Each structure stands twice: as structure tokens, then as C-alpha cells.
């Protein structure tokens, strides 16, 4: 087993639970972040030999009151899975019921304009520390997410051997649902990625085919929660999102923006959406078209909203 990253009374079980999730090949950076938070909480709640009771679980859930419903759902989901795992070793462990999850509604995606993406990338290029690779890394990463629509975890899992600038393509190896696919790059995206890779090489990071493209200071994989924190600081600083606790543009909306822009382009071309949707589904790495239909629904809403805005504008002009 790898070095234990936890310190509380259930450190061994937390580490083994995390290792079993890693063994499936899934991205575990966000899971590890949640488990670290749980570990810190349990250090003040449990004595050696004790387990998670309904009262302890309730106090941890109550401590999340300031977080968004989505974040709370994610954290409670990991707690639920861990308690189920832990109950196999200690039957006294409580099991988390679905009724303990907050009501969650799917947020309306923010469809970024090119001007907004340019502002976000420019702001990312100004972050610290000065002289480090981080500004170029974050700026390039945001641009890649917008230009390709790949998932955040897929981008962070890229290694140098997955990049083929000559063919202008990147290979996603065993992404979500263990699906691999080839993703083309636009000329602009390929140029930006080439510039970043030169900067990465000059910074002295490992350059083998198995080295991560987007690297942390010590050469390992860049951590997703760190990226999320940087993103929120940037979009709040640009006025694109309100204070903590208010909804607004998310990193995942880069993927929505790519999908919706592609669908809008097909709408304008008069394309058969029934024939085109499976193509987009394959490109995005969905197992079925049902996952992609979310973007189709968002596109219809956007077109309807745009139509209403135009009608209102025309009515004002005629008045």
C-alpha cells in the first residue's frame, strides 16, 4: 500500500478505501480532498477503536451548511460510500441514507463567449508565483478545456505521450467509463499547447512520454482542487461570478460551452440533429446519447432566450 496520507483514528481504512478507488483507474484527486477533510474532522471526534455513528455523521454534514448543494452532495456521497465500506469491518458503523442528501438541482450552464475566455486566460497568465510555470500552465489548461470540451480530469491525466502536435491531436486514454478516444486540436489550440510545452521543457520538468503534461511544482500531476480555487479567484476578480456561496460560471461550463457551440453551429447549418448527436456523444466520451442530450436541452433553452431578447429589443425600437 502507498504511504498513508491520513492521520486520524481511521487513517488506515481511509487510505485503503482511497487506494481501492485508485485501482479502478478513476481520477481520485477530488475524492482525496474530501477524505482529508473527513479525516481532519474525525481527529476531533473519534478515539481509537470507535467508528462513525449517526451523531458524528450528522455533525459533519451539519458543518457543511455554508457550502453549495452540489458540493455538499459530493461530500456526503463520499461519506456514504466510505461508511458502507467501513461497515464490512465494523458493523457498528452507521449507513448514510439518501434522505440526508440536500435537494440538488442541475445548474443552468454558463456558455462562455470567446471574449470571456480570453479575459480568463489573460488573468491566469498573471497569477503567481512570478517566474514559475503555473501562469502558463493554468492559462493553457483553461484554453484547452474550452477548445476541446474534454473533462477536467482527462486534461490533468494527459501525459506527454498523449500529445501529437504534428497530427494536431491528443489521445484520451481510458477516460470516464474506461473509454479512450482521439480528440483533434484546432490550429490555435495546437499553437498554444506547443508554446506551453516549450516553456515546460525550459522549466526543467521531466520530459519522458509518461510525464504529466500539466505538472505541479514537484513534477507530479497538477491537483484539481488547486485548479478550482484558482479558477474561482479569477472569475470573481473579473466580475463574472459573485461572492462565495453565490452560483455562477464553473470550470465544467467550458465543456458545456464547447458542446453547445457545436450544436448551435449545426442548428445554423440546418443539420439533422438526430444524426449529429451520436457524433458529438462519441467525441465527448459519453457511453450513450442520453448524456449528450443535456447539452441539446441547454441549446434549445438558449435559442429560446435569445429569441425573447430579440423580440423585446424589437418592441422597444418600435415604441
Reply yes or no on whether 295 is catalytic. Answer: yes
Which of these is catalytic: 16, 119, 252, 276? 252
Which of these is catalytic: 21, 75, 110, 151? 151
Q: Which residue has the cell 493554468?
A: 138
Query: What are the C-alpha distances in Å from 233 to residues 42, 123, 133, 172, 237?
Result: 29, 10, 18, 28, 6
Which of these is catalytic: 112, 146, 196, 295? 295
Which of these is catalytic: 16, 36, 119, 176? 176
Which of these is catalytic: 134, 241, 256, 286? 286
CB 197 within 8 A of CB 212: no
Q: φ, ψ for residue 163 (rounded to 5)?
A: -100, 125
Which of these is catalytic: 110, 255, 256, 262? 255
Cα 91 from Cα 219, distance rounded (Å) = 41
CB 170 within 8 A of CB 163: yes
Reply yes or no on whether 267 is catalytic. Answer: no
DSSP state of 170: E
Reply yes or no on whether 97 is catalytic. Answer: no
Cα 29 from Cα 46, distance rounded (Å) = 25
Query: What are the C-alpha distances in Å from 139 to residues 89, 163, 193?
Result: 45, 18, 10
What distance lies between CA 27 and its chain's CA centroid? 10
Burial class (CB in 10 A: 0-12, 13-18, 19+), 211: middle
Reply yes or no on whether 286 is catalytic. Answer: yes
Catalytic residues: 151, 176, 252, 255, 286, 295
Amino acid at each position: 500500500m502507498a504511504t498513508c496520507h491520513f492521520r486520524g483514528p481511521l487513517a488506515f481504512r481511509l487510505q485503503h478505501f482511497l487506494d481501492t478507488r485508485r485501482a479502478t483507474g478513476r481520477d481520485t484527486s477530488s475524492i482525496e480532498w474530501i477524505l482529508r477533510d473527513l479525516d481532519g474532522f474525525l481527529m476531533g471526534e473519534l478515539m481509537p477503536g470507535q467508528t462513525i455513528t449517526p451523531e458524528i455523521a450528522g455533525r459533519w454534514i451539519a458543518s457543511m451548511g455554508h457550502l453549495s448543494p452540489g458540493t455538499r452532495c459530493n461530500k456526503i456521497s463520499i461519506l456514504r460510500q466510505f461508511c458502507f465500506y467501513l461497515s464490512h469491518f465494523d458493523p457498528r458503523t452507521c449507513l448514510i441514507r439518501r434522505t440526508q442528501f440536500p435537494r440538488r438541482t442541475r445548474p443552468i450552464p454558463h456558455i462562455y463567449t470567446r471574449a470571456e475566455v480570453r479575459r480568463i486566460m489573460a488573468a491566469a497568465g498573471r497569477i503567481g508565483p512570478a517566474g514559475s510555470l503555473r501562469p502558463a500552465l493554468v492559462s493553457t489548461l483553461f484554453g484547452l478545456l474550452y477548445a476541446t470540451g474534454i473533462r477536467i480530469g482527462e486534461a490533468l491525466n494527459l501525459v506527454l505521450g498523449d500529445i501529437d502536435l504534428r497530427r494536431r491531436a491528443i489521445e484520451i486514454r481510458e477516460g470516464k467509463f474506461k473509454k479512450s478516444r482521439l480528440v483533434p486540436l484546432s490550429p490555435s489550440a495546437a499553437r498554444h499547447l506547443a508554446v506551453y510545452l516549450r516553456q515546460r521543457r525550459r522549466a526543467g520538468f521531466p520530459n519522458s512520454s509518461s510525464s504529466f503534461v500539466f505538472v505541479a511544482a514537484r513534477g507530479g500531476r497538477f491537483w484539481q482542487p488547486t485548479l478550482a480555487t484558482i479558477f474561482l479567484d479569477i472569475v470573481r476578480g473579473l466580475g463574472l461570478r459573485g461572492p462565495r456561496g453565490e452560483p455562477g460560471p464553473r470550470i465544467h461550463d467550458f465543456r458545456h460551452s464547447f458542446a453547445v457551440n457545436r450544436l448551435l453551429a449545426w442548428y445554423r447549418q440546418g443539420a439533422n440533429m438526430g444524426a449529429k448527436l451520436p457524433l458529438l456523444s462519441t467525441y465527448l466520451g459519453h457511453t450513450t446519447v442520453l448524456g449528450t442530450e443535456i447539452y441539446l436541452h441547454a441549446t434549445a433553452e438558449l435559442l429560446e432566450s435569445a429569441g425573447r431578447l430579440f423580440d423585446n429589443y424589437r418592441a422597444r425600437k418600435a415604441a
